[in-house]
Chains A and B, each alone.
Chain A
Amino acid sequence: MAVRALTRGFRYSRAATVASPCGGHHYVTAPSVKPPQPQADDVTEKILNQPLEKPDFFRVAELFSLKDLFDARVHLGHKKGCRHRLMEPYLYGCRLDHDIIDLDQTMEHLQLALNFTAHIAYRGGIILFVSRRRQFGHLVETTAKDCGEYAHTRYWQGGLLTNANIQYGPGVRLPDLIIFLSTLNNVFQQHVGIRDAAKMNIPTVGVVDSNCNPSLVTYPVPGNDDTPAAVELYCRLFKMTINRAKDRRKQMELLHGLSAPTSQTSRYALK
């Protein structure tokens, strides 16, 4: 059964590469992830492979427009002195020492990131929202609770991902995606979670501002992470995509007659 699943995987994703977490190819719209509940059921295979046929199956491009990004002040970066060298490709320009982020590139990156998140949520993956900004901690936690996913806006203990089996107990399941609403921690250094996720082969989506290092983030989204309007926009977008993807999954299961109440309740039983 496992061999058959592997050969099937190879047949469908021949042209695509296995998504590597560090600087993966952007041709792949969804990773060829092993489904969390492998069954020899053809219906489940069909449900999981159907979204892979279209580039924007969840129509995430409809959720936002360039004007929304501009109104939420996503294009505002930091001052020229704070600029990170690796962010220069993403900047549109500099006006009176203030960096302006290129919103066309942001649109593309955001679309890819939201699409990826939608696919992960569709397959029942665990999504962890991380942000170390005290201003938005409550907002991020509320967003995560509303989606039915997880959040971590507190002090990051060192062995959280790398030493998980000892910290939480054996057999713990690590997140399948980590979303950083701000990639910096309270002392303006790169958040430890980015490096740890890269070590543990967990893909990351991160909002990178003009003073951040985008290199280890799988799906960087260049944009402002300081303004409340921008962060509220991101939270709203992620919440809508995740809810949309989960509803779609429920619809597909009902459509194909696969009423699996246990899998539904276990995915939604979050206290």
Chain B
Amino acid sequence: NLAAAGPEKFTLEYIQKQVEEYEIGKRHLANMMGEDSENFTQEDIDLFDFIYLFFLLKQICFYFQHPDEIFPKQRAVQWGADGRPFHFLFYTGKQSYYSLMHDLYGKILKIEKHQDRLRAKGLFSQDAQLISLGPSRWLTKEELELLLVETISTHDYDRFIKLMERMLAMPYSSTEEEFVQRYRRQLEAQSMKQMMPPLEKDENGVAFSTAEGRRKTSDSSVILRDCGSGHITINGQDYLQYFPVLQDREQLMFPLQFMGVLGRFNLECTVSGGGRSSQAGALRLAISRALLSFLSEGDGEAMRQAGLLTPDPRVRERKKPGQEGARRKFTWKKR
């Protein structure tokens, strides 16, 4: 349904004109800069500052990227000069989606025929050659829409996935593996391993590690040195001076005390932003992360389970109009 699809449709002539203007602008720029105008690529343009370019070429071309990257992909005209549409399923309205379903069903029929042939020869075995997919997921509905360049409904998407699953469940479906992989995306390997900071050695041979932590609006950075003295410095001050309240110092101690390495490390911390409590929380997270590189896998897992390595996602909720605070409403007056 082309009319309802988007706010504005760019005609092919308009986009072609934009492409020509872009090419002309590129050549002008190359000539002005004294570069080779034939081999002047997009990377060379990107090196220039945008404002500088604008003053040079202001009357010619306002985009400094190829128009294909700016204007969204849309369908070209679907029929030829004599009016006959190009695609045999044009009159259904959703030609790409239905042609995909048609091809998929054709592949299922082909696999079934293959199975019948093997059965006739007596070579059929039930557990043969299912496709191994690995850690991957199906394309989401949005990704499929992008691929097909047309909108599909949730119902259509569900039917597509069901048909794919049906094909995968058949034995001897490994012949269509390449087709199936086109519609799957690899999952980022969910690493159970924590991202631990690297262990470095400074001039004196002392092992140290650096880590950062955030809480609410505070940012902190901690350098953990394996000295053996247990001194803690925050922004150049001693920790007793910086955190007069016991609760904040307890927050600092907790990771070290949990692992039983209280006196072993020296901490050199910097922290900014936020208030007293959030700075303490940020420091605690940074210390736990820095500690990971000195500990074993099991200890790291114990820290994770204790919640020391999880950044606290809570931030201040905004105040809404018509209310006194984020949640508090104005006093209700009966009359």
| Chain A interfacial positions (CB closer than 8 Å to B) | 36-37, 124, 126, 128, 138, 141-142, 144-145, 148-152, 154, 157, 160, 166-169, 171-173, 175, 262-263, 266-267, 269-271
Q: Are B91 and A269 in contact (CB under 8 A)?
A: no
Chain A residue numbers with a CB within 8 Å of B94 are 154
Q: Are B83 and A36 in contact (CB under 8 A)?
A: yes
Alpha-carbon distance between A148 and B3 when the two chains are bound, in angstroms: 28
Q: Are A167 and B84 in contact (CB under 8 A)?
A: no
Cβ contact of A141, chosen from B2, B79, B82, B88, cutoff 8 A: B88
Q: Tell me the minimal C-beta distance from A175 to chain B in angstroms.
A: 7
Q: Are B86 and A271 in contact (CB under 8 A)?
A: yes
Q: Are B102 and A169 in contact (CB under 8 A)?
A: no
Chain A residue numbers with a CB within 8 Å of B195 are none
Q: Tell me the minimal C-beta distance from B254 to chain A in angstroms.
A: 62
Q: Are B88 and A151 in contact (CB under 8 A)?
A: yes
Alpha-carbon distance between A270 and B80 when the two chains are bound, in angstroms: 10
| Chain B interfacial positions (CB closer than 8 Å to A) | 1-3, 77-94, 98, 102, 105-106, 109
Q: Are A150 and B85 in contact (CB under 8 A)?
A: yes
12 interchain pairs, CB-CB under 8 A: A124-B82, A138-B102, A138-B105, A148-B88, A150-B89, A152-B89, A167-B1, A167-B93, A168-B78, A173-B79, A173-B85, A266-B82
Q: Tell me the minimal C-beta distance from B48 to chain A in angstroms.
A: 40
Shortest Cβ-Cβ A-B pairs, 3 listed: A173-B83, A266-B80, A266-B82
Q: Give 20 A-B pairs besides A128-B91, A173-B83, A173-B84 with Cβ atoms closer than 8 angstroms.
A: A36-B82, A37-B82, A126-B84, A126-B85, A144-B88, A145-B88, A150-B89, A150-B91, A151-B88, A152-B92, A154-B94, A166-B3, A167-B3, A168-B2, A172-B79, A173-B85, A266-B81, A267-B84, A270-B87, A271-B87
> In the complex, which residue of chain B has the Cβ closest to the Cβ of A271?
B86
Chain B residue numbers with a CB within 8 Å of A160 are 91, 93
| Contacts between chains A and B (CB distance < 8 A), count | 77
Q: Are A267 and B3 in contact (CB under 8 A)?
A: no
Chain A residue numbers with a CB within 8 Å of B84 are 124, 126, 173, 266-267, 270
Among the interface residues B2, B86, B88, B93, which one has the most CB atoms of the partner chain A within 10 A? Answer: B88
Alpha-carbon distance between A36 and B81 when the two chains are bound, in angstroms: 11
Cβ contact of A269, chosen from B3, B86, B102, cutoff 8 A: B86
Q: Tell me the minimal C-beta distance from B105 to chain A in angstroms.
A: 5
Alpha-carbon distance between A270 and B105 when the two chains are bound, in angstroms: 21
> In the complex, which residue of chain B has the Cβ closest to the Cβ of A268?
B84
Chain B residue numbers with a CB within 8 Å of A124 are 82, 84
Cβ contact of B88, chosen from A172, A266, A270, cutoff 8 A: A270
Alpha-carbon distance between A175 and B1 when the two chains are bound, in angstroms: 18
> In the complex, which residue of chain B has the Cβ closest to the Cβ of A36?
B82
Known: A124-B82, A138-B109, A263-B82. A167 touches B90 (CB 8 A): no
Chain A residue numbers with a CB within 8 Å of B77 are 169
Cβ contact of A149, chosen from B3, B81, B88, cutoff 8 A: B88
Chain A residue numbers with a CB within 8 Å of B93 are 157, 160, 167-168
Alpha-carbon distance between A36 and B83 when the two chains are bound, in angstroms: 9
Chain A residue numbers with a CB within 8 Å of B91 are 128, 150, 152, 160, 175
Cβ contact of B86, chosen from A36, A128, A169, A270, cutoff 8 A: A270
Known: A138-B105, A167-B1. A150 touches B82 (CB 8 A): no
Q: Are B2 and A267 in contact (CB under 8 A)?
A: no
Alpha-carbon distance between A138 and B113 when the two chains are bound, in angstroms: 15
Q: Are A151 and B89 in contact (CB under 8 A)?
A: yes
Alpha-carbon distance between A152 and B89 when the two chains are bound, in angstroms: 6
Q: Tell me the minimal C-beta distance from B117 to chain A in angstroms.
A: 19
